[in-house]
Amino acid sequence: MKTSRISRVVRLLTTLQSGEDYAVSDLAKMFGTSRRTVFRDLKELQTVGVPYHYNAKNGGYAIDPEFFLPPIDLNLQEALGLLLLVHKASGQVQLPFKKSALLAALKIENNLPPKIRQYCNTTLQNISIRANPQAPSSELDKNFAELQKAIAGKMKVGMQYHSFFDGKIIDVELCPYHLMHSRRAWYVLGFSDLHKSIRTFKLNRIRELKSTGKRFIDGQRFDADDYFGRAWSMMPEGKIYNIKLRFLPRVADNVAEVQWHGTQKVTRNGDGSAIVEFRVDGLREITWWILGYGDQVEVLAPKQLRSKVLETAKNVIKINS
């Protein structure tokens, strides 16, 4: 929902919660909008679960005043930080239960002191966060809730999973240990009876998910950070490489100001370039990252990585010739 619309919907909430019934024409005049816009905003309230009702006798809408929270004691920074997180930053991550989070934010917003609420509404209109591409999942809420319940209860789940590696739908019985968001998507990590090892599964590729009714006893000491170790992102390959790259002046500052990996070491050169070093488990993931910088990066070590980047670059030229 856009910020200007959020502000308007909050005003609509406050108005309808007053205990009086308001006709659509009155609301349109009050907010300086069209009747069509009022109906769209009412539909938005319905989408997030606000129980407004229509009084056919007088042709007006209202909300039960008892539906919302009592006044909340938040200062200006607390209120703005919370609303910024829900209204703005949530676009960066495909949140499970997003409608519920938005409804919670609207409840809080509706009960802020008037001066704080007005300040937040005005401020949010002048703040934006560019959303990153996300892996869509129509069943995210359902699958997330089912897996979270299984993790808490140590219950095995059965799932039909669209495996890109196998090129088909596979049946997996999984002991789920951990849920994680990374690289624009949600994943579940756990022991797969099919693969006889701990594996990572993308939630938006799950085609069917259900509890098996069977418990598991391991996984209580599972640590995602230990599992991924020094992998560049999510795919440890079992071998550590000392990576050494030289970034040209055009991109050196942009690369150096970001902490890409826990082992990162940066050395600035007099010509404006930068030497960036990592100790990374595996080469496949970092290869794709390096290629994203095109002709602005040189692989100094190891030779295996240099060969891998060169081979991929040659294939790119071949495909696009």
pTM of the model: 0.71
Average pLDDT (155-173) is 94
Rounded to 5 degrees, φ, ψ at 161 are -125, 130
Secondary structure (3-state) at 241 = strand
- In order of their start, the domains of the chain are 1-131 (1.10.10.10), 140-228 (2.30.30), 240-320 (3.30.70)
Residue predicted with more confidence, 36 or 48: 36
Q: What is the pLDDT of residue 68?
A: 59
User: Tens of pLDDT along 103-156?
Assistant: 777 777 777 888 888 888 788 878 887 777 777 777 889 999 999 999 999 999
Could you tell me the CA-to-CA distances from 200 to 17, 179, 190, 232, 285 in Å, in that order? Answer: 46, 10, 7, 15, 15
pLDDT classification of 212: cutoffs 50, 70, 90: very high
Q: What's the burial of 230, exposed, middle or buried (CB within 10 Å: 0-12/13-18/19+)?
A: middle
